[in-house]
Structure formats: C-alpha cells, structure tokens
Copies of this chain bind each other. A is one copy, B any other.
C-alpha cells in the first residue's frame, strides 16, 4: 500500500524573466479592492448582457428536445471572480427557469460549475454564494429547483469534467487567452503581442497556437457535453483577416509604448520587453469557423459579431455619458490592469505596475480623444453532434 506524504505546501514563487507558466500565473486581480477585477469588469458585464438573447435561444433549443433531463448540468469556463461570475450563472439559470415557466416543465435540479485556473480567486466567489442563493430564492421562489454551484479549477484547454456529463457550456471573454505564449517569437522586439512591426513568424506562431488551443478546447468539451448539448463562446476577435488590424493590436501596442518609455528612462530593461509576449489571440471569424469544422464534433448554430466601446461607461444605456480624457483613460487602464497585472508583475516585477498603468491611462485617454476604439467580439453557438 502506498504511503502518502503530500505534506509540503508549495507556494508559487516566480523570479523575473523566466518562461511564463500561464496556468500558474494568469489570474484576474483578486479580492474586491480598487484595482480588483471585481470592480473593473464593466466591459465584460456589457458583453454578457449583449449575448443574453443568444443564450436564451440556445436554452430554448435544448428544451425543445425530447427526454429533457431532470437534472441540468452547466459550466462557465473562465468564470473569474466577482459579480460577473454570478451574472453569467444567473443568466443561465434565469433562461432555464423562464422557459420551464413558459413550457410548464417543472424546474430541473441544476448544477453549475464555475471554472477557472487554479490561481483564480474562488474564495471571493464562494463568499458571495449565500447571498446569491438567497436572491435566487427570493426572486424566483418555486420556479427555480434545487441549485448547486461548484468550483472546478483547471485549464479549459484540457479535460475538466466527466464524459457526457454536461448539458450546456458557456464562456465569456476567456477563449482569447491562449494556454501559453507561442514558441519561437523571441524576435518580436519592441512588441508584447502581434503588432504592426512584428515579423511574419510572430503572426504565424500566434495563429498556430490559437488553432491548437481552440481545437483542444473543442475536443475536451466534445468528450464532456452530452449529444445534443450546447456551447456558447464569446471572445474578442478581429474584423478583418489582417492580423495587424487595430481592433486586434491597438490596446497592447499602446501598453508596449509605455514599457518602451520606461525602458528609455532606465526603469526596466529593454531586453525584458523583447522577451515578454502576451498569451492572447484575437482570431478572425473565418479562422474560428475553420477550426470548428476541422475538429468536427460540433455544428455551428449561430456565429455573430458585435462591438463594445473600450470604456464600458460609454454605452447606449448611459445617456448622460460625456467623454473625459482622464476618466476614460483611467477606466480602460484599470480594466486592462485587472486582467493582465499578474502577467506583467510576474515578468517585470510588482514594483513597476502602478507606474505602468498610470502611463497607460494617459496614453489610452489621449488615443480615445482622437478615435473611439472598440472591442470586436465574436460569439459562437454550437451543438454537440
């Protein structure tokens, strides 16, 4: 019999300039402080609300099938932490409850799995759960059945759930994160992502990494989603084939400029910028289609695109919105800091972060005073064949 001696607690320790281990490092800023993802995820919230009609349609499609299961199992991939996590879960539950009410089905038991990388701040989510359950009970009463919300830590580029165990999978603003920085792009000097001045091999390497990752995501979910089950993925893409497209590269090009300024002032090493690249990719819509078709497990029901402003306060519902360069720059900078600080801090050290994102706020503010830049979003709804 094996004796188990798993006693040592391994804390994640990282120096500067090492090879980025995305799974260990990447996480949105934890907790509920000023810079936290919880408080700086308004764009993500807007995106979720835009996808709501497609989500309802998808749930409706599931319900129209015969032998609808008495238990409904859903997963949210890349749930992150804070209110958005529960917005997605709520939207899924609400769509199911609404349709049960309409069709006269009695409400199913529901398990919702919140998935993210193991370094995600699940504690913040779990502490919100009792209030979420109370709200659900108060708002839905007996229209909602027993509801069980679990956390499932792990990378969605590999297996996460038992075979044929899920009815519905959802992901919002996560699939544009790659499993790792593409290999062989040490020559991407002065850039931290694909940029106008990137050599050709950089674009190629990013594309290949996306194709591989997205294919693994589909393959893993194909194992886990029941036949006829559904999946909706929303992520940032680009509107044209050209990978130097502004909607793809601009925000990180501006951040790279801030880093280069800091290098010029001797605050960081320029060599450190050259060796840093973001594990992200914003695919063109046709690339997405091609991978789904090639992988072969899913049939695409709908594939749509929509845009949201970089500053989420600047939206149709906010009638009183008045552009202010400073405020707007701060809003966007905080949003980008919340999602990417862990990566920059891991590579350049924590000490430069405040300075970096102050500079970024200024640059973004200036840029948006000249041109209203948007995130170009792709949302794809698929059925397991």
Contacts and interface: CB of A to CB of B under 8 A. Distances in A.
A186 to B, nearest CB: 27
A146 B120 CA distance: 22
Given A151-B150, A151-B153, A90 B6 contact: yes
A82 interface: yes
Contact of A152 (B90, B139, B150): B150
Number of this chain's copies in the complex: 2
A135 interface: yes
Given A122-B123, A122-B126, A38 B23 contact: no
Interface stretch (A7-15, A280-288, A318-326, A333-341): A7-15
A135 B6 contact: yes
Looking at chain A's contact residues, the main secondary structure is: mixed
Contact of A94 (B4, B24, B111): B4
Interface stretch (A157-165, A297-305, A346-354, A361-369): A157-165
A94 B152 contact: no
Interface in A93-142: 94, 98, 109, 111, 113, 118-124, 126-132, 135, 139
A228 interface: no
A122 B94 contact: no
Contacts of A131: 10
A2 interface: yes
Contacts of A153: 126, 129, 149-151
Given A127-B118, A130-B118, A83 B148 contact: no
A264 interface: no
* Most chain B CB neighbours (cut-off 10 Å) among A9, A11, A83: A9
A39 to B, nearest CB: 8
A75 B312 CA distance: 41
Interface string A156-194: 000111110100000000000000000000000000000
A61 interface: no
Nearest to A24: B130
A91 interface: yes
A163 B71 contact: yes
Contact of A146 (B23, B32, B128, B162): B162
A93 to B, nearest CB: 10
A91 B162 contact: no
A151 B148 contact: no
A370 interface: no
Interface string A1-44: 11010111111100000000001100000001000001100000
A83 B132 contact: no
Interface in A51-77: 71
Contacts of A127: 10-12, 118-119
A319 B130 CA distance: 47
A294 to B, nearest CB: 25
Contacts of A139: 2
Contacts of A7: 83
B113 A150 contact: yes
Contacts of A9: 32, 38-39, 82-83, 124, 128
Given A2-B139, A162-B71, A10 B146 contact: no
Contact of A98 (B1, B91, B135): B1
A86 interface: yes
A117 to B, nearest CB: 9
Given A71-B163, A148-B154, 11 more contacts: A2-B94, A4-B94, A6-B86, A9-B39, A10-B127, A11-B127, A12-B127, A23-B130, A129-B154, A148-B152, A150-B150
